[in-house]
Amino acid sequence: MFRIGKEEAEAAARVMESKMLFRINDGLKEVEHFEEEWAETIGTKYSICVSGGTAALIAALVGLEIGPGDEVIVPGYTFMATATAVLAAGAIPVIAEIDDSLTLDPADVEKKINKNTKAIIPVHICGFPANMDKIMELARKYNLKVVEDACQADGGSYNGKRLGSIGDAGAFSFNHFKIISAGEGGAFVTDSRRVYERALVYHDGGSQFRPYANGLEIQPFMGAQYRISEILGAILRVQLQRLDGILTDLRKVKKTIMQALSDVKNLTFIRSNDIVGDCGTVLAFAFADEKTARTFAASQGVNGSLPIDSGKHVFTNWGPVMNKLGGHNNDVNPYLMEKNKELNMNYAKDMCPKTLDTLSRTVFISLDPDWNEEKINQVISSCREAAGRI
Ligand SMILES: *Cc1c(COP(=O)(O)O)cnc(C)c1O
């Protein structure tokens, strides 16, 4: 979350005054309005507001009828929830390499596709757009579904299309650490009526009893409870109004710094699949080796970090996946299910060497849309000085 103010407080207060905090009501219908506004912003037919990005990913996979017997390819660099959402659907996550854009490597994805592969989850990590042209090409070639994990890329775009609208479904997060936020929250989007209805039923376990049940073309089945309250819905509507301003300012900060450093010969920026659509939350440099990256990151005023140190975003640290503890009970653990017996679940710490090597030679600097000229100039001069010393 970058910006929040009295408008959010007032929106939340209006909901409390209405005394209707449940999303299904005859009052303000904040969540319902947010869903319409989010679908319109992203450019999809349908959107469902859910309790988080993980819930959105699970709803997307359930919506796309992915389950036991299916392999789903995810990158080795993402938040663990990308992989555990696959397990929650009963399927098996297959971990693939990232390329020099820090997003899913289409060449490695193609190597990992086999007869059991059902879907690919490209992740727009740190707001860096994944190579969607190549991924969609693979999906068409092998008849696979694509779920975009845009949890760190609310509002970003690729070739002029908003991230999340290119694949069969998209997932967004509005937890505290994302571009816009209500503390918690998420959204699912799709253009498919059937996928939408399945996700709708799944996110609202009591769907059978809802006013909308009569209009469903599918038969309601058991679901989870991923609904969100009106208070969060009201906050998200205000946050959405701030989204494009936040992105414009983040991109301006990033562009200013990149232009100012473009002539520094020791500095190379991470390759972008679409620098215009990039969210601008993170400035990323590629170095020849880890030692140089560490020296640069630790230099006075740079305030850099290495993604290899981020822990939860590196596949080697995903305990439940690496240890194959995919459920609370053996009988619901996808790794032990009969239907998954033949699937690829051979995980090892060294299975994606390119990912580990790339992440240990990369330096991130987190950006802020509200940095002033003085702060931006300080970052630029600190990076210049640090580059001179490596
Ligand atoms: C934050 C995040 C999620 C999960 O979002 P929650 O709202 O915390 O459930 C999933 N994938 C990625 C890449 C994320 O960064």
Domain borders along the chain are 6-240
Q: Which of 273, 322, 234, 241 is nearest to 130 (CA)?
A: 273
Residue-wise pLDDT for 162-181, tens only, equals 999 999 999 999 999 999 99
- pLDDT for the residue numbered 206: 87
CA distances from 235 to 17, 25, 239, 241, 316 (A): 15, 17, 6, 10, 36
**Percent of the chain beyond pLDDT 70?**
100
105: pLDDT strictly greater than 90:
yes
Mean pLDDT of 45-58: 98
Q: How far away, in angstroms, is 132 Cα from ligand 1 center?
A: 19
275, two tokens: 């620098």
Mean pLDDT of 305-309: 98
Q: Which of 267, 265, 301, 298 is nearest to 284 (CA)?
A: 267
129: pLDDT strictly greater than 90:
yes
Q: How far away, in angstroms, is 19 Cα from ligand 1 center?
A: 31
Q: How far away, in angstroms, is 175 Cα from ligand 1 center?
A: 8
Residue ranges lining ligand 1, Cβ < 6 Å:
52-54, 78-79, 81-82, 123, 125, 149, 151-152, 173, 175, 186
207: pLDDT strictly greater than 90:
yes
- pLDDT for the residue numbered 340: 98
- pLDDT for the residue numbered 261: 98
311: pLDDT strictly greater than 90:
no
Point out the ligand 1 atom lying closest to the alpha carbon of residue 186.
7
194: pLDDT strictly greater than 90:
yes
Q: How far away, in angstroms, is 286 Cα from ligand 1 center?
A: 25
- pLDDT for the residue numbered 390: 87
- pLDDT for the residue numbered 352: 98
Task: Give the whole-angstrom CA distance, residue 52 versus residue 30.
Answer: 17
19: pLDDT strictly greater than 90:
yes
pLDDT band at 382 (very low <50, low <70, confident <90, very high): very high
User: What integer best gives the mean pLDDT of the chain?
Assistant: 97
Mean pLDDT of 202-218: 94
- pLDDT for the residue numbered 318: 98
* Other C-beta atoms lying within 10 Å of the C-beta of residue 389: 10
Q: What is the pTM of this model?
A: 0.98
Tell me the CB-side half-sphere exposure of residue 46, using CA atoms within 13 A: 20
pLDDT band at 220 (very low <50, low <70, confident <90, very high): very high
- pLDDT for the residue numbered 131: 98
Residue with tokens 């571009």: 179
319, two tokens: 């305990």
Query: Which CATH fold topology does 6-240 show?
Result: Aspartate Aminotransferase; domain 2 (3.40.640)
Q: How far away, in angstroms, is 211 Cα from ligand 1 center?
A: 31
| Ligand 1 pocket test target in 51, 82, 84 with most atoms within 8 Å of CB | 82
- pLDDT for the residue numbered 73: 98
